[in-house]
Amino acid sequence: MNKNSESVPSGKGESLPSRHGGPMPAEPKIVAFFCNWCTYTAADLAGVSRLKYAPNVRVIRVMCSGRVDPQFVLDAFARGADGVLLGGCHPGDCHYAEGNYKTLRRMRMLARMLKDMGIHDGRFRLEWISGAEGDKVKAVVNDMTAKVRALGPLNMPDRFKEWDKEMVHAR
């Protein structure tokens, strides 16, 4: 996506030791906000159905996708997420009637802002996943993990440190 993503070293926590002792390529970290009523239920269903999917998502349960403030997404990136995934009920199915529409409108704007800030659009994704779609959780997580892996680490915390090295007395 950009030259910086290769020139910045990955974080200490990012490289996992392999069985052979050598460093393994960094595993992408994806923060996922799933709504309680649909997408989180779907993730539960995927679990009880024993569907296997990439272990790269850290799921945060929220009552509604409409609870997810765009600040949360920027904060996740700033604290080291390589990708952010948002899951809500299908249009028309929101438990609170309109929450997912509010999310859609906000996130269409946020997606433009992320692009303008040089964050690749593959790193941020909004999906509607109903409580019956355990298989869609699997498909979306696997697909997003593969795409984010291909983009490489974003690693904002190390970038911040790198940027501040130009100051004589970096803080």
In the complex, the residues that contact another protein under the rule CB under 8 A are: 2, 4-5, 66, 69-71, 73-75, 77-78, 91, 101-106, 108-110, 112-113, 116-119, 156, 159-160, 163-164, 166-169, 171
The DSSP string of the chain is --HHHHHSPPPGGGPPBPTTSSBPPPPP-EEEEEETTTHHHHHHHHHHTT----TTEEEEEES-GGG--HHHHHHHHHTT-SEEEEEEPPTT--TTSSHHHHHHHHHHHHHHHHHHTT--GGGEEEEE--TT-HHHHHHHHHHHHHHHHHH----HHHHHHHHHTTSTT--
Question: Min. distance of Cβ 102 from another protein in angstroms?
Answer: 4
Question: Min. distance of Cβ 108 from another protein in angstroms?
Answer: 5
Q: Which is nearer to another protein, 44 or 158 (CB)?
A: 158
Q: Which is nearer to another protein, 37 or 77 (CB)?
A: 77
Question: Min. distance of Cβ 5 from another protein in angstroms?
Answer: 8
Q: Which is nearer to another protein, 21 or 166 (CB)?
A: 166
Question: Min. distance of Cβ 152 from another protein in angstroms?
Answer: 12
Parallel, antiparallel or unpaired: strands 83-88 and 57-62 = unpaired
Question: Min. distance of Cβ 36 from another protein in angstroms?
Answer: 19
Q: Which is nearer to another protein, 75 or 121 (CB)?
A: 75
